[in-house]
Amino acid sequence: MPTPLNKTGDPDITYIVAASEQIARYLHPEMVVILESTTYPGTTTEVVLPILGTGNWGSGTGEQNSQSPVPSLQSPIPGIDFFLAFSPERVDPGRTDWTTRNTPKVIGGVTSACLQAASAYYGQAMETLIPVSSPEAAELTKLFENTFRSVNIGLANELQLMCDKLGLDAWEVIDAAATKPFGFMKFTPGPGLGGHCIPIDPEYLSWKMRTLRYKTRFIELASEINTDMPRYWVQKVQDALNEAGKAVKGSRVLVLGVAYKKNVSDMRESPSLDIIHLLEEKGALVDYHDPHVPSFAADGMRKSCVDDLESALGSADCVVVATDHSAYDWAGIGSQAKLIVDTRHVII
């Protein structure tokens, strides 16, 4: 899981500190400790390591463990008495082609012995290990992976905004560009960023670099664009209703999908919630349907999925496609809805 941000926008590592202190109480010789939570570069060595270095060689009682390789040891030494590493999780919920076993595992140890111990542990279950020179390199690797996605999704979202001004189809442009067999990777626009990683992780890097008086311009611009996408799509709903001679206030709007991505139930940071909030602020009567989320209580809202999708489609003044779940019959939805605002380009 990622390190959360507190109200000031700084990484909140309270739970990492608490877990480290608990481990330190029960630290035993040759214990392997690995941090997987996404966090800023330096967390493993600057936060976790000093705490473990005060560990008690016993069973949480503060008594010295008679099994310690160095009974008179005052402070346990990493790489000799215990082994500490960072290895970020790499998961893509809903995927079946890349699993825990066959997804390459990046590992950075505090010492070479720590790296060897962590590699021996993961090697029992994972096919490919990617050793790097330090925990900081492994921590930054994870942040760069997610920042890469955030920045490129931001670029795709800005293309959507530009094409809207130019009277062009962003998806046609992207699909045409994707035919290039080299030097291009396809990213697509949407309602905004969701999930527990992509919207948040780049902020850790921005925070870390601010402590070094460096401004991460790409990261901050991409975040600004991605965060504004729900507002853009709500404006498209307003425009569509105006064209039909209706105001947003009092109109019935059906949002399809509140999970942050297709075929999962995870709602963390879902842009669908922002869309619902903004529509309700404008006076719309908003219902939702999601085959994976029967009900939810989040962001000050409590809602239940409509029971009869066909009836809800028929009564809605506008349907917003927010999550492109495979369970939906998009052709049928397209024929039943009076108005559609499609953030995922699934209604053709």
Catalogue the active-site residues: 197
Helices (H), 59-183: 112-122, 135-166, 170-177
- 309: alpha, beta or left? (left if phi > 0; alpha if psi -120 to 50): alpha
Q: Which stretch of DSSP H or E encloses residue 304?
A: strand 301-304
Look up the CATH number of domain 229-342. 3.40.50.720
Q: What pLDDT, on a 0 to 100 scale, did the predictor assign at position 57?
A: 54
Q: How many CA atoms lie within 13 A of 265 on its CB side?
A: 7
Residue 316 CA, chain-centre distance (Å), reads 31
Residue ranges of the domains in the chain? Answer: 14-133, 141-218, 229-342
Q: Which fold has domain 141-218?
A: N-(1-d-carboxylethyl)-l-norvaline Dehydrogenase; domain 2 (1.10.1040)
Query: Identical fold at 14-133 and 229-342?
Result: yes
Q: What is the pTM for the complete model shown?
A: 0.87
Structure tokens at 101: 């076993």
Looking at domain 14-133, its CATH architecture is 3-Layer(aba) Sandwich (3.40)
Q: What is the pLDDT along the chain (348 residues), one digit of tens a residue?
A: 566 666 556 677 888 999 999 888 888 888 999 999 999 999 999 999 999 987 655 444 444 444 444 444 467 889 999 999 999 999 887 788 999 999 999 999 999 999 999 999 999 999 999 999 999 999 999 999 999 999 999 999 999 999 999 999 999 999 999 999 999 999 999 999 887 777 788 888 888 999 999 999 999 999 999 999 999 999 999 999 999 999 999 999 999 999 999 999 999 999 999 999 999 999 999 999 999 999 999 888 999 999 999 999 999 999 999 999 999 999 999 999 999 999 999 997
For the chain, how many helices (H) and strands (E)? 11, 10
